[in-house]
Amino acid sequence: MVILIVDDDPGILNALETSLTSKGYHIISARNGRQALRIIKSSIKGTEPVNVMLVDFLMPGMNGLELILSARKIKPDLEFILMTAYGNNTVKEQALKLGVGRYIEKPFTPDSLLKMIEILNSKINSG
C-alpha cells in the first residue's frame, strides 16, 4: 500500500514517515496541496499508485478538505484520513459531508493511526 502524507510541518512529516515506514508501508510525502496533486497524477501512470492520503486540515494555500475534493477528481477511489489540531464540529461536519469518515485529531498516538491504516489496508486488499 502506498500512503501519501500531506502536511506543511516538516517535523510531523518526518515523524509520520519514520513511523509508517517502520511498519512496512511505502510512504511519499508532500508539504502542500499542489505538490500532493502532482504526486497523485504521476502515481496513476506509475506501477504503484497512491492508495491512501493522510492529509492535514490546516495548510497554507489549500486546506485539507479542498485538497480532498481536488484529489477525488483525479483518483475517485483514493482513501483519505484527515488530520487536524482543530477538532471542532464544523470541521467534522464538513469532512462527513465529503464522505471522509476517517478523521484523527492531533496529537494522536501512532497506534490509533495504525489502526485506521490497517482497516484501510484490509479494505483495499479485499476490494
> Average model confidence (pLDDT) for the chain?
91
pTM confidence score: 0.92
Query: Residue 67 class from Cβ within 10 Å (0-12 exposed, 13-18 middle, 19+ buried)?
Result: buried
73 touches 111 (CB < 8 A): no
pLDDT digits (tens, 9 = 90+) for 42-60: 999 888 899 999 999 999 9
Residue 71 has pLDDT above 80, yes or no: yes
Q: List, edge to edge, every strand of the sheet that includes 26-30.
A: 26-30, 2-6, 52-56, 79-84, 103-105
Q: What domains can you pick out in the chain, each with its CATH number?
A: 7-108 (3.40.50.2300)
The confidence score (pLDDT) of residue 78 equals 94
Tell me the C-alpha distance between 15 and 9, whole Å: 10
* Phi, psi for residue 84 in degrees, rounded to 5: -155, 150
Residues 6+ apart with CB under 8 A from 30: 4, 5, 6, 36, 39
The confidence score (pLDDT) of residue 88 equals 66
State the sign of the Cα–Cα–Cα–Cα dihedral 89, 67, 52, 122. positive
- For residue 2, the SS3 value is strand
